Each structure stands twice: as structure tokens, then as C-alpha cells.
Amino acid sequence: MSKGEELIEALIHTARLCRTLRSELLLKHGLYVGQDTLLRCLDEEDGRSMGTLAGLLRVRPPTVTKMVTRMSAQGFIGRKTNPIDSRQSNVFITEKGAKVMKKIDKAWRKTEKTSLFNVGKKRKKELAKSFQQISENIQDHQSGNANLEV
């Protein structure tokens, strides 16, 4: 295995560990990973459209529909038909959803503190730049804009 392959394996493994930790912390409050991000989007700006949420969450619209349906049944969010365009639904955070926001924020902070414990500020900046570049490379490849041959 090349050094690059080892690095990608380490990145994938680390991402899974972070996701698992956050998942464990959220599950205590009846939430799954992804639902927390949707609630955070609504906490920032309530009443967003399903299409806007799909864009912010970087998922396809059917995925948002499933999430919203499930979370509505759980009582965290509600949806209403847009009064101007009846083809659109807007999603709103409920009182129950608002109450769980502090727990979501706490889970995110604990994941951050646990994951980045003993990682200095300079190293965090380097990692952020590296992750950004990796993301851009993959997005370029997926959109057909990649300038490298594999």
C-alpha cells in the first residue's frame, strides 16, 4: 500500500470514528447523525424550503424528504405548504426541536474536544486546509473538472 493510500485509509477511518462518536452522543437524545445538521440549519433560519435544506446538507431532495418525514413523526420539526407557491414545503423547528438544540451543540463540542485533544492551533489550520483541498479535488473529479489522470 502506498503512503497516499495509507493516508486515505487513515482519513476514512478517522472520519468514521468521529461520526460514530457524534452518533453515540446524539442517539441519547433520539437523534441520528444528519438530523442534527438539519436542525442546526433551521435554528439558523427557520422555515427553509426542502430544496434549500437539500443544498445546505449536500444531499438529494428525496433524502431530505425522508429526513423531514421521520423528524416530523419524532416531533422535532414540522412542515407547512408555502403560502406563495403551494408546490413547495417549508420546514420549521418545533418547541421539542428547539429544546434539543443545546444537547446537539453539546454533542458537537464534545466530539470536537475529544477528536482534537492535543492537536495544536497550527496543526488544526493545516488539517483544515488539507481537508478543504481534498474536498475540492473530489468535487472537481465528480463534476468532470479534474485536471489529473488516474
- Asked whether residue 25 is domain-assigned, the answer is yes
pTM of the full structure: 0.83
Domains in the chain, number:
1
- Asked whether residue 17 is domain-assigned, the answer is yes
The pLDDT tens digits of the residues spanning 80-138 come to 988 888 888 899 999 999 999 999 999 999 999 999 999 999 999 999 999 999 999 98
- Asked whether residue 112 is domain-assigned, the answer is yes
The pLDDT tens digits of the residues spanning 7-61 come to 999 999 999 999 999 999 999 999 999 999 999 999 999 999 999 999 999 999 9
- Asked whether residue 124 is domain-assigned, the answer is no
The pLDDT tens digits of the residues spanning 102-113 come to 999 999 999 999
| DSSP-derived secondary structure letter, 1 | -
Decide: 65 and 57 in contact? Cβ < 8 Å. Answer: no
Q: Read off φ and ψ for residue 21, nearest 5 degrees.
A: -60, -50
Q: Say what the pLDDT of residue 148 is.
A: 63
Question: How far apart are alpha carbons 80 and 52 in whole angstroms?
Answer: 15
Question: Domain residues for 7?
Answer: 3-117
- Asked whether residue 142 is domain-assigned, the answer is no
- C-alpha cell read off for 72: 416530523
